[in-house]
Amino acid sequence: MSKSKNGMAPLPPVPRLHAPRALHPPQAHGQPGSGRSTRSPLLPALLLLAATLVTYWPALRGGFIWDDDVMLNIYVKSPGGLRYIWCSTILPDFFPLTSTSLWLEWRLWGMNTMGYHVTNILLHAGSAILLWRILLRLRLPGAWLAAMVFAIHPVNVESVAWITERKNTLAMVFCLASVLWYLRSAERRVSGVKCQVSCAERSDVQGSKFEVQSSRFSGDYALSLLCFLLALLSKTAVVPLPFVLLLCDLWRSRIRNTRASITTGKVTPDTPDTRHPTLASRFTFYLSRFLPLLPFFALSFILGLVTIWFQYHRAIGPDVVQKGGFGSRLAAAGWAVWFYLSKDLLPLNLSFVYPRWEVNPYKLISWLPLLILLIGGLVFLRSRRTWAKGALFGLGCFVLMLLPVLGFVGIYFQRFSLVSDHWQYFAIIAPIALIVCGLSSKFNSDKSRAGVQGSGFRVREEVQGPKSKVQSEGPEDARRGGREEHATRNTQHVSRFTFHTLACLGLILLGLQSRRQCSVYHSEQAMWEDTLKKNPACWLAHNNLGLSIAQKAFALSGQSRKESLGQAMEHYRTSLKIEPDNIEARLNMGSAWIALGGLEDAKAEFEAAQSCNPENGLGYYNLGLLFEQLGKIPQAEAQYRKLVSVWPSYAAGHDRLGAMLEARGKQAEGEAEFAQAVRLQPGMVRALNHLGLSLQIRGKTTEAISLFRQAVEFEPDFAEAHRNLAVTLARQWRWNEAAAEFSEAVRLDPNDPVAHYEWGNLVLTANQMKTGGDTGNLVGDDVRSPSSARAAPKGLLTSSPTAPGPGGSRSPIPPIGTALNQAAGHFEAALKFRPDYPEAHYQLATVLERRGQIGQAIAHFREAIRLRPDWIEALNNLAWVLATSPESALRNGPEAVRLSARAVELTHTNSAGHLDTLATAYAESGEFPRAIEVARKAASMAENSKEAQMANEIRERITLYEAGKPFRAR
């Protein structure tokens, strides 16, 4: 060793070490564990939100598409629907929190789709922000970039732009919140352990700091568990989350252990000695990670079983979605995983329905994807390379979150395809994070290497171990080292610039592709047309596109309607060529034939649907509707009986069967079927309405009112139920309530002639009852409404009250002139919309007669008789007017005799009033002896029936007849 000029030996050169800051995690955007926040997280979060809004802006113009009507069902629309959403098994799936969110939004947006789309987009943006915070907490580089890729990835468009997938976007928010809170609780738990050890070393008995950490751990853990429960109640596809939480916890432990080992060479209190582990230490370590997750696994198990029950008893029912056994499903799962990965890496040719694979488990190639997946996992597991550990972590999370949709549990959509974009919404995070964070680690290694030590991404050893050699450096070595370091820094700057440029370009391309994909969901027709461009052999798309075209054709007329229906039928035929056993296309073809007037062709299609699958009740249902339209009630009844035999839980079948039974006069049997329909589907408003009508006919008005109120609660726009409720209320003398319901019924359906007619009856009856007048001629007989293929031929109610109900509301009595004018207006409105309405003609005639407009009254009486030739009251009243009118020009004795004689014949001479009319007609015709004879018989009959006033009036008229004078009305 040489000496210096002063005789002292020179000190050895100090070895060049990396900056101490490299031993700590990067201080990025307030990253957890950084000690302090150097940047506000607000700006990055706002950028994520803005990018999401810009990307999905075209989706705001989207309408309702396939299955949206199932999500926005009657229970979502009903004010009292929450009881059925949470506490019943009548819905096809169990995601009550999702249905509750739609229930709330229905009150805000109604049929305006924009509100639902805005909510979906905001939920998705919130998920992206939460993902960013989670990746930061996992110490992964490129966390914000990964969250941005997730926010605008085209595969996610289906989940965000489709209103039905509210269950995805809502569940994702709670799922990620659960992960974030759980990671916080895990950090609190570790901090608490460290603090407890530190306090014990200092003999700090109180351990106040430890107590604070423990309370924070408990709070974070409880929030995590609560969020997981809410996620399950939004969509149970998140059931694998506890396994992912376990992997995340192990991942965090690996990072902490590696950082501590690099820094101090010691093992941290919360991790085992991974270099020399004992079996006991390994067991204790993994058990400590598993035990906090037991409540999570319990929730997954319970709600998972609930979902499986709903799938097989409600959503799928008797349908077969997968014909293969477990072997084919296992092999297909391998294909599905690689398919999803390919779409994540290259999101092109995205389709709403992908081609359905037929996997043959007896061919080796069918197992190749699964075999490659297993081998890759084993290689990553056994490899000592750090990048392999990261790949194993990402792959594990990806496959775990895909498990519920890989085909092991039946899902109805698997009938059409084994894969779907919205099924990987929860899993896509893993490959995005793996790729983006891995690339960020490679291209930004100088900034992130210490933060990802042991993370499994590209890592360089930054600190020489205690055995590293210290070599002296001379001036030349120092200068050479400086030049090398400068060159290295330049290279790193170029790499970072290239990476950031490519990242920006990639984000722009992803965003543009997502915006184009949003246009696919603009309308149902656009969605199916796009599906056929990418999957021409999709029989479902052909069928549903034809149905969409046909629904628009029904609003057309003439040649345009025929051409549109012909186009729809071409799609049905193509669907049947691809899938001959496709019962839906046959049923839709039959409906199109009905619209074109080809009833025999429709019948043939419905029968073919029955032969394709005798266990499918829709063929029987549609054939029954066709027979109803043809007026063949017994044949329709037979079809509905077959329907309820193969589908006993099909409420619509019981409702239609009840309607047919009542139409054949089997009131008790029909009422039983209506009651069964209501038991099976409490929100089926048609069945509630029909059961209410049956009970009202039997005089059970209180029970009927309750059913009608339930119907209008479930469907406030159900005009017929409002009308029947009004009629039933009128029977209990509750005039104000009845008038309000009539007003609502007419508002909802201004063209309903029955509502106008019954409202006119109400006005007359209320006035007559309150003034003590006679109501005998003010209310028509029990009438039957015109039936259609989907409307039960039920009797319409009349508003004739039997007795005043207790506590019934009273309204001011309008003057008789006002009441007559109001009633006449309602009857005229009824005839405007239904000119062949005999009851309305009759009631209008009675009003016109009382208003002194005898000529017009006679015309309406005659029209009522023309429409109902044997209507006794109309025959009698017209005969009375023709015989007693003060105007000689309007009297017609011979016609009056003919009409009144027919009325007496129909009543078998058992009515004193009708005999009295016949007597006046004879007197008007000059046949006074016969008039006197018939009048005396009428008076005797009135006295026997204790109708003294009528008997006295008849005797006064006999006096006139004896004097040779006819009776004249005043």
pLDDT in tens, 116-144: 999 999 999 999 999 999 999 998 999 99
3-class DSSP state of 686: helix
pLDDT of residue 930: 94
Cα separation, 460 vs 450, in Å, equals 9
- Looking at the structure, tell me whether residues 932 and 812 fall in a common domain: no
Q: How confident is the model at residue 910 (pLDDT cuts 50, 70, 90)?
A: confident
Q: Are residues 102 and 226 in the same domain?
A: yes
Q: Which bin fits 256, alpha (ψ -120 to 50), beta or left (φ > 0)?
A: alpha
The distance between the two most distant Cα atoms of the chain, rounded to a whole number of Å, is 169
pLDDT at 398 exceeding the cut of 70 = yes
pLDDT at 346 over 80: yes
Query: Which of the given ranges, 469-478, 665-674, 799-808, has the highest pLDDT on average?
Result: 665-674
What is the rounded CA–CA span in Å between residue 462 and residue 819? 98
Q: How many CB atoms lie within 10 A of CB 3?
A: 9
Name the DSSP class of 613. -
The verdict on 824 and 894 lying in the same domain is no
* 854 in the same domain as 879: no
Of the candidate ranges 32-36, 384-388, 585-589, the one whose mean pLDDT is the lowest: 32-36
At 22 the pLDDT is 38
Residue type, 765: T
Six-digit token pair at 254? Answer: 């690996």
Both tokens assigned to 185: 């609780």
Q: Length of the chain, please?
A: 970
Q: Give dist(CA 211, CA 217) in Å, integer.
A: 10
**DSSP calls for 76-126:** HHSTTTHHHHHH-S-SSS--HHHHHHHHHHHHHHTT-HHHHHHHHHHHHHH
Q: Higher confidence at residue 519 or residue 491? A: 519
CA atoms of 920 and 961, how far apart (whole Å)? 9
Q: Which domain holds residue 736?
A: 717-860
Tell whether 599 is covered by a domain: no
- Rounded distance between C-alpha atoms, residue 132 and residue 127, angstroms: 9
Comparing 359 with 173, the larger pLDDT belongs to 173
Tokens of 27: 């201080």
d(CA 129, CA 53): 13
Question: Of 925, 927, 847, nearest to 893 (Cα)?
Answer: 925
Give mean pLDDT, residues 742-762.
94
How confident is the model over 863-907, as pLDDT tens digits? 999 999 999 999 999 999 999 999 989 999 999 999 999 999 998
Is the pLDDT confidence value at 70 over 90? no
Say if residues 711 and 689 touch (Cβ distance below 8 Å).
yes
For residue 185, pLDDT beyond 60: yes
Answer whether residue 482 shows pLDDT above 70: no
State how far the Cα of 132 lies from the Cα of 433, in Å rounded to an integer. 10
In this structure, of 316-325, 559-568, 596-605, the range with the lowest mean pLDDT score is 316-325
Looking at the structure, do residues 126 and 218 belong to the same domain, yes or no? Answer: yes
Q: Is residue 554 assigned to a domain?
A: no
Neighbours of 221 (CB within 10 A): 19
Residue 322 banded pLDDT, cuts 50, 70, 90: confident
| Identity of residue 504 | C
Q: Which residue in 341, 498, 380, 432 sits closest to 142, CA to CA?
A: 432
Q: What is the model's pLDDT at position 190?
A: 62
Where does the pLDDT of residue 477 fall: very low under 50, low under 70, confident under 90, or very high at 90 and above? Answer: low
pLDDT-derived band of residue 72, with 50, 70 and 90 as boundaries? confident
Q: At what angle do helices 719-731 and 735-748 cross, to 10 degrees?
A: 160
Q: What is the C-alpha to C-alpha distance for residues 656 and 621, in angstroms, rounded to an integer?
A: 9
The percent of the chain in helix, strand and coil, each rounded to the nearest 5, is 70, 0, 30
Co-location of 970 and 849 in the same domain: no
**Residues forming beta bridges with residue 795, ordered by sequence position:** 784
3-state secondary structure 29-50: CCCCCCCCCCCCCHHHHHHHHH
- Range in 254-263, 711-720, 732-741, 870-879 the model is least confident about: 254-263
pLDDT band at 396 (very low <50, low <70, confident <90, very high): very high
Query: Poorest-confidence range of 27-36, 370-379, 699-708?
Result: 27-36
Asked whether residue 177 falls in the same domain as residue 316, the answer is yes
Question: Quick one: 146 and 184 in the same domain?
Answer: yes
**What pTM does this model have?**
0.81
**Who wins on pLDDT, 732 or 460?**
732
Q: Output the CA torsion sign for 446, 451, 456, 461.
A: positive
User: Which of 324-338, 744-758, 780-794 comes out lowest in average pLDDT?
Assistant: 780-794
pLDDT at 622: 96
CATH code (residue 778): 1.25.40.10
Which of 12-26, 168-182, 198-212, 324-338 has the highest mean predicted lDDT (pLDDT)? 168-182
In the predicted structure, residue 8 carries a pLDDT above the cut 50: no
* 432/454 Cα distance (integer angstroms): 20
Q: Which of 797, 827, 860 is the last residue of a domain?
A: 860
- Asked if residue 255 is part of any domain, the answer here is yes
Arithmetic mean of pLDDT, 270-295: 73
Residue 788 is given by DSSP the state: B
All residues at 6 or more sequence positions from 86 whose CB lies less than 8 Å from its CB, including other chains:
96, 100
pLDDT confidence band for 216 (50 / 70 / 90): low
- Answer yes or no: is 827 within a domain: yes
Does the structure show a pLDDT above 90 at 627?
yes
Which of 396, 430, 452 finishes a domain?
452
260: left (phi over 0), alpha (psi -120 to 50) or beta: alpha
Element (H, E) at 231: helix 208-234
The 3-state secondary structure of 743-763 reads HHHHHHCCCCHHHHHHHHHHH
Domain co-membership, 843 together with 886: no
Of 395, 419, 452, which residue sits at a domain end?
452
Residues 6+ apart with CB under 8 A from 669: 658, 661
* DSSP-based three-state secondary structure for 435: helix
Q: 3-class SS at 795?
A: strand
Residue 657 in any domain: the answer is no
Domain assignment of residue 221, yes or no: yes
Closest C-alpha to 769, from 741, 738, 800, 740: 800
The β-bridge relationship of strands 783-784 and 795-796 is antiparallel
379 — phi, psi (to 5°)? -60, -45
Q: State the alpha helices, DSSP H only, in 311-385.
A: 326-345, 364-382
Predicted pLDDT of residue 311: 85
Distance separating alpha carbons of residues 342 and 737, to the nearest angstrom: 64
Tell me the C-alpha distance between 960 and 532, whole Å: 88
- Count structural domains, the chain: 3
Amino acid identity, position 18: H
Domain identity same for 304 and 198: yes
**HSE of 262, CA atoms in CB hemisphere, 13 A:** 23
Q: Are 590 and 547 in contact (CB under 8 A)?
A: no
For the residues of 705-756, what is the DSSP string, one character each? Answer: HHHHHHHHHH-TT-HHHHHHHHHHHHHTT-HHHHHHHHHHHHHH-TT-HHHH
What is the C-alpha to C-alpha distance for residues 134 and 144, in angstroms, rounded to an integer? 10
Is the same domain home to 876 and 754? Answer: no
Best mean pLDDT range from 11-15, 90-94, 811-815: 90-94
> Residue 458: pLDDT band by 50, 70, 90 thresholds?
very low
Higher pLDDT, 200 or 802: 200
3-state DSSP assignment of residue 796: strand
Instruction: Please indicate, yes or no, if residue 362 is contained in any of the structural domains.
Output: yes
The whole-angstrom separation of Cα 67 and Cα 373 is 34
Q: Are residues 829 and 933 in the same domain?
A: no
What average pLDDT does the structure give for the chain? 84
Contact 159, 124 (CB under 8 A): yes
User: Does any domain span residue 610?
Assistant: no
Residue type present at position 524? E
